[in-house]
């Protein structure tokens, strides 16, 4: 049986965000990705991680399946995601009024 990394921390990607959040370092493991708030003129909310090359890359659950929420999914949207130890951020397309985003460890 494989041993999985466990993390029970709550990571605040941002509160009252109007644009893309700053980077937040996570330990890695299974998380609940949660976004809530007031959309405003924003159209999409994507979870991104910083690849070893330093490039921000959209998190994919499966190849071609981006981990994202559209404006219609808010005021509250959430889904599970596995992540390695890395930096993450919420990428906001457009300008939001006030968005909160979290990664909640399921450790």
Q: Each residue's pLDDT tens digit in the chain (107 positions)?
A: 566 678 899 999 999 999 999 999 999 999 999 999 998 999 889 999 999 999 999 998 766 677 788 887 777 888 889 999 999 999 999 999 999 999 999 98
Q: Which residues pair with 70 in a beta bridge?
A: 44
| Measured distance between the N- and C-terminal CA atoms of the chain, rounded to whole angstroms | 17
Q: Which domain holds residue 69?
A: 10-105
> Is residue 58 assigned to a domain?
yes
* pLDDT at res. 63: 65
> Is residue 2 assigned to a domain?
no
User: Which of 95, 92, 70 shows the shortest CA–CA distance to 13?
Assistant: 92
**Phi, psi (degrees; rounded to nearest 5) at 39:** -70, -45
Distance CA 8, CA 31 (A): 9
> Is residue 3 assigned to a domain?
no
Q: Running DSSP on this structure, what letter comes out for residue 64?
A: T
CATH of the domain at 61: 2.60.120
Distance CA 14, CA 11 (A): 9
> Is residue 16 assigned to a domain?
yes
Domain count, the chain: 1
* pLDDT at res. 26: 96
């Amino acid at each position: 049986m494989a041993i999985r990394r466990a993390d029970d921390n709550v990571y605040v990607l941002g509160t009252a965000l109007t644009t893309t959040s700053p980077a937040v370092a996570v330990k890695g493991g299974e998380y609940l990705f949660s976004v809530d708030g007031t959309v405003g003129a924003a159209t999409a909310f994507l979870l991104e991680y910083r690849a070893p090359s330093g490039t921000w890359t959209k998190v994919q659950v499966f190849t071609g399946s981006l981990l994202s929420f559209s404006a219609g999914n808010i005021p509250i949207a959430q889904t599970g995601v596995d992540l390695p130890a890395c930096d993450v951020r919420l990428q906001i397309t457009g300008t939001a009024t006030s968005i909160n985003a979290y990664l909640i460890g399921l450790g």
